[in-house]
Structure 1
Amino acid sequence: MSQTKVKLLYMDIYRVHLYVENAPQWREWFVRKLGFQAISSTTNNDTHTELVQNGEVRFLISSPRTNANPVAKFLQHHPPGVAELDFAVDNLELIWERATNAGAKILQPIQEKNSIKWGKISGWGDLCHTFIQVNRISSADFGGLKNYGASEINHNFITHINSEFTGIDHVVLNVANGELEPALNWYETTLGFQRQQRFKIETEHSGLSSQVLVYPGGRAQLPINEPTSANSQIQEFLDANNGAGIQHIALSNKDIFATVRHLRNQGVPLIEVPTSYYENLRLRRGELNIYQLQQLEELQILVDWQQDNPDALLMQTFTKPIFPQPTLFLELICRSRKAKGFGEGNFRALFEAVEREQMKRNRGVC
């Protein structure tokens, strides 16, 4: 007796929405520092919003014009950062049904305009999620959406963008101690994410516990961290952010060497990796050649691989926090030969690098 194969729903991280004090200023930062293009700008009675894009990576950036709008209210409670994480989906009704049946709070019911459907719900903490249905023909289709504000979505294919970034690989959420399991359960039950890798990092100074969530029918990945010590860098984020929030956004690209060199030339501050990391790397170099090793050390890039697939390299580096507070930072990631996972060696190296920056702040060192 033949069995019918059930088609998985599709979900991809489509866009990140930042709430800031001055949207035009941050538009210029993304354009000048990261090579984004300014796509659109809109102003209504209480909010100014900018859309910037580089390849398949999109940021909406909003700032308040009055004290009585959602952006202002967010900034009264949190420093600048991610207020909304949005997903492109291929069957909004089914995803919406699952979310609402699980008790998700509806912020904006399903709407449709120009053959595009969308709806918004509350996420974990003060985060919210908009789901946008597009026809899944090719990755180029995801470039066809523009969001001019909270209530209007327009369709306009964007072409000839000189792209560095091929997509948002993953977005990391930090939650309070004891909230990791409830947050995981919420994203599993409400949206259908599934658990993948689990990490627990402990140093002599602090620690964290992390669980990676993936969406089984798409590319969306959402690791969630909780602190395991009072002085953890995750706790520092929670204190500075006044609660749970997005810690970092990973931007994928095909040539991380060229991208990192460009960002360093533009003055984007990146993490510092100790020489001992590259000394150890030479001992376990795997398929890396001398030129690659030199490039990795020169540009301060982390690299990892799985023993059963040593030529599939996972290369990463990270900016320092982009806002004055020790909150949101960006990751640059390159998955050579479709490398999977998150690289436990890289994960620990990142934790230690951020921990060193935290210790500098605590000592008052610039």
Structure 2
Amino acid sequence: MKIDHVHFYVEDAKVWRDWFVHHLGFQAVASRISSFHTCTEMVNSGAVNFLLSSPLLPTSPVAEFLRQYPPGVADVAFALEDVEGAIALAQKYDATILQPIQEHQVGTAFLKCGKIAAWGGLTHTLIEKHCGEMAESLWQSEEICDNFPSASPISPSSSITAIDHIVLNVAVGELDRAVAWYENILDFQPQQTFKIKTDRSALHSQVMVSRNGSVQLPINEPATRNSQIQEFLDVNRGSGIQHIALRTTNLVNAIAKFRASGLSLLSVPQSYYSQLKQRPGLPLSPLELEAIAQQEILVDWQEYTPLEGGNIAPLLLQIFTQPIFEQPTFFFEFIERRYQAQGFGEGNFRALFEAIESEQIKRGTLQ
């Protein structure tokens, strides 16, 4: 399994195409996958494919979505080896099948896909590809498997290379059900568990990972009424994708470029870096830490692990944008993993939680 693409429903697809190009260095992909009722644009960076759809008519499925939810992620599409088996499992566990399996052959490419309902307004398109060269005519069809992308251009110079993880927020009391749903239907496995609590609010989180390890899906639920997860659920009018983490190989340089483009990021107090220096085993030189502090990047590391060439601490560098839409729902994370760093660091998780609490206080939604 891998993430094939993520589909955003927005009010103006062309405006958001330009936003991704200008702020994050994505490439706009020339295509003709819009229908008479919906405009769809595609942007790409490395292995990351985003579809952006907006309504042209009130009858568009995007218009229907936006009447119920604010702009955000409507669909996360997974590429699987056996779509028929996945749909059969979904039916066995009473998941809602929104689109039965369709088969298409375009040129030498053979495609199967279906779609299931997940949590809130979120859906999952399931795609099985047996590909030769994708024919150009695939882009000229109006709607094949809900406008899923085919072969994508790779931009080797782009800062963003892959999707690291996608975070789902669910209502209080639904975490265990969501975990079981992803276990039973898509064969995800539970990994790390977090219970983050401050003096003001709290959340519970369960990290789910696909069997092959290539897809990470943390699921959060609120643990207090004023939790930032509850604020998301209230504003989003239900469960949904809170953020997507985009991986880069040089986070300091990438964030410097993003800041220069005008991207708004969450602030980190400089006292955070003074505290980091007191923590034993900091695997950064003073010069590196200074550059990281200048860009307000969070730092976390694990215990030293014997690796070839000496003892090196696996290191996580993370930073988060402000919500990108008008309402405080969806945001992006940027992440760099060094020295085989796996999973998620609790220190960074807590620092993110506290940074979002600060934004809640500014909005007046957290007393």
Counterpart Cα distance in 1 of 2:343 and 2:85: 28
Alignment of 1:351 onto 2:353: yes
> CA offset at residue 191 of structure 1?
1.3
Deviations 1:189-210 (Å, cap 9, x if unpaired)? 1111111101011111111111
Question: SS at 1:270's partner residue?
Answer: coil
The 3 A distance-change label for structure 1 pair 129 and 253 is same
Aligned mate of 1:188, from 176, 183, 188: 183
Contact 1:49 1:62 (C-alpha < 8 Å) held by counterparts:
yes
Write the mapping of 1:156-167 to structure 2, written as runs, cut at 5 A.
Answer: 156=151, 158-160=153-155, 162-167=157-162
The 3 A distance-change label for structure 1 pair 148 and 289 is farther
Write the mapping of 1:107-256 to structure 2, written as runs, cut at 5 A.
Answer: 107-113=98-104, 114=106, 115-134=110-129, 149=143, 150-153=145-148, 155-156=150-151, 158-160=153-155, 162-256=157-251
Identity %: 50
Deviations 1:306-335 (Å, cap 9, x if unpaired)? 113352111100001000100000000111
Task: List alignment gaps of at least 5 residues for structure 1.
Answer: 1-10
Deviations 1:141-199 (Å, cap 9, x if unpaired)? 9xxx9797454556445245532222111100111111111111111111111111010
Alignment: residue pair count: 349
Write the mapping of 1:274-293 to structure 2, written as runs, cut at 5 A.
Answer: 274-284=269-279, 285-293=281-289
User: Residue 28 of structure 2 aligns with which residue?
Assistant: 38
The 3 A distance-change label for structure 1 pair 278 and 148 is farther
Question: SS at 1:274's partner residue?
Answer: coil
Deviations 1:263-320 (Å, cap 9, x if unpaired)? 1111101111112211111112522111111111111111111113352111100001
Partner amino acid for 1:20? V
> CA offset at residue 94 of structure 1?
2.6
Task: List alignment gaps of at least 5 residues for structure 2.
Answer: 306-311
Contact 1:251 1:330 (C-alpha < 8 Å) held by counterparts:
yes
Contact 1:90 1:136 (C-alpha < 8 Å) held by counterparts:
no
Contact 1:148 1:154 (C-alpha < 8 Å) held by counterparts:
no
Deviations 1:93-113 (Å, cap 9, x if unpaired)? 332332222222111122222
Counterpart Cα distance in 2 of 1:360 and 1:12: 38
The 3 A distance-change label for structure 1 pair 112 and 344 is same
Partner amino acid for 1:78? Y
The 3 A distance-change label for structure 1 pair 303 and 204 is same
Contact 2:245 2:335 (C-alpha < 8 Å) held by counterparts:
yes
RMSD (Å) for aligned C-alpha atoms: 2.2
The 3 A distance-change label for structure 1 pair 155 and 223 is closer
* Structure 1 stretch displaced more, 352-361 or 119-128: 119-128
TM-score (norm 1): 0.90
